[in-house]
Amino acid sequence: MDDSTLIASSKSGIEDRLSITAEFYTLNNVQANLAKYVLLSSSCPSSTITFDLLPSPLISEVSLSFSSLALGTSFHFLGVWFFLSASSQFVLK
């Protein structure tokens, strides 16, 4: 499976998207490695957040927990490097 990106402005929005994604994976016999999931959050940096999935007969997991990246962490996405603290020093390095 290739990379997937879920974007939402609230926790409930991500829960909705995760539920839809989990149903899609079940219907299409796709497995995702939950250990490789990365959570970026501007409101809860460096914390573990639990997402409650919407009830469905297709979903075996009822909740998922992910640790969000710390503010001082950089990450690479689609060939571009991002730094959560928005420091200009990161760009220079």
Phi, psi of 80 (to 5 degrees): -120, 135
The answer to whether 11 and 47 have CB atoms below 8 angstroms apart is no
What is the largest distance, in Å, between two alpha-carbon atoms of the chain?
Answer: 50
pLDDT digits (tens, 9 = 90+) for 12-53: 999 999 999 999 989 999 888 888 888 887 776 678 888 999
Domain spans in the chain, listed from the N-terminal domain onward: 11-92
First to last CA, the chain: 33
- Distances in Å between the Cα of 27 and the Cα atoms of 22, 36, 59 are 9, 21, 10
51's enclosing H/E stretch is: strand 48-52
The structure's pTM equals: 0.75
